[in-house]
Structure 1
Amino acid sequence: MNTVQIQNITVGAQNPITLIAGPCVIEEPERTLKIGRAIKEIADRLNIPYIFKASYDKANRSAYNSFRGPGLKEGLSILAHIKKELGVPVVSDIHCITQIDEAAEVLDILQIPAFLCRQTDLVYQAARTGKVINVKKGQFLAPLDMKNVITKIEEAGNHNILLTERGATFGYNNLVVDFRSLPIMRSLGYPVVFDATHSVQLPGGAGTSSSGQREFVPYLTRSATAAGIDMLFMEVHDNPPEGKSDACNMLYVDKLEDLLKDVLAIDHVVKKHK
């Protein structure tokens, strides 16, 4: 397996699991930083490598008037500040080619949203930056279909690739995780990420917004870790019901540490760390 280097964090092969976590969208800068600091303190206590995430723009909201975030310029400025304050890498979604160059100046990982994973120009041009590219598998794709996405990135001369499982469409307004997808995607030669909170989303389940089933996050997280993953992606908030996006599936930050202790124990067994 190819390993991926993100600053001083090595991901893949038999390396311990890495955490990507933060609120779904950048809200007030102070609150967003506060959430990141709380997560980092937990990660530091448990000796888990940590990468901060938050979206500067939620471009795929269910309703036109839904909160989207501060936008590209202000959002990247906030992420740059968080990156400096916490001393950790940062990741956010990109949605169109015109965002790539500016985003690459700040972000350590350029994330391709699930709905856009087949957008050839977006994937290819992002890959040409040489940055780590995290592609979320579309809810409509089989895991082996990600081979085609990998090829597009490799054609750009980039082998810094992460593949994320975030659930597959299962009827209307529902997702299900086929845990076979994790070893299948891992067999393609690159590290695999499990998105534990989007996997419990109920897309469009609240009419003008998505709903979710936060209570199942721990079960899916432990199951995915047992299946063998390299990174764990979780959206975390100090008070999820107040969250301006994905309020129903974000994890309470005060529930994070106990769950990560389980993750570490399972990961240790699966990878047999010395």
Structure 2
Amino acid sequence: MAKKAHRPTHDAGYKRLFSRAGMIEALLCRFIPEPWIAQLDFSTLELIPTHWVSEKHHRRESDLVWRVRFGPEGMDFIVYLLIEHQSTPFRYMVVRLLGYVMLFYDWILQQRLLTPSQRLPPVLPLVLYNGRRRWRAPLGLRELIEPVSGGLERFLPSFRYLVLDEAHLPKEVLGPLDNPATAVFEVERSENLEQIRKVIAAVKEMPLGAEGEAIRRDMAAWLRQVVLPARLPDEELPEVEELEEVDEMLAERVKTWPKKWMAEGYQMAGRKACAKS
């Protein structure tokens, strides 16, 4: 019988999935179709530490921070991508992210990572939201500040972030199932085990390059440790490491569930009959 081990959180699952450069490239190229993305040198993607200390000595940590070289003609500098996973809507998300970015900038200065002539690097704050309710929190800080006029508005801070509301992305944005980031979102949107199996089949066939085996193992771990325990809370799930093993496990459950439901139906009918007698 499988042992019930400590279950990783959804945050931990996402952190593992998006700690691969190939996943980040797939995410940006598919879901942020803007001209500046084409100027990124994805071969320079580098995951950096995400813990900083505030003035009150409270440790603050974003989910993930990536750095990548941005090199359009005549320019060459670093862009940072700050990724935050969220399962529930949070009205003041923009305030939290602004705090992360400011602490990150302060960390850069404390580490003396800039020369006197260099400016602070651009940071893109990105929220990956996998909740069922639509994300309606303000995307800009100005939307949360009391509007003023008479010149004072010039001194109000301006800050925005990007959110990918996975459950409500249009099909044309999701695109075909040939991208590992799309695969993650399709699992989140799935309504049954057969749909998850279709995603697994697609991921097994994706040309994922040097990180392919690691990405598939990460996805297998996420499915086994996070997604499936939430979908099948009463099931004893075996320990598996490969996508093929996850697929076999799901195939077996899809096959045996009708018998299980029938048995449960008979038991329920028997209990009702006993209650009437």
TM-score, normalised via structure 2 length: 0.33
Bigger radius of gyration:
2
TM-score, normalised via structure 1 length: 0.33
Higher strand residue share: 1
Kindly indicate whether structure 1 or structure 2 has the higher relative contact order, using CA contacts under 8 Å at least 6 residues apart.
Answer: 1
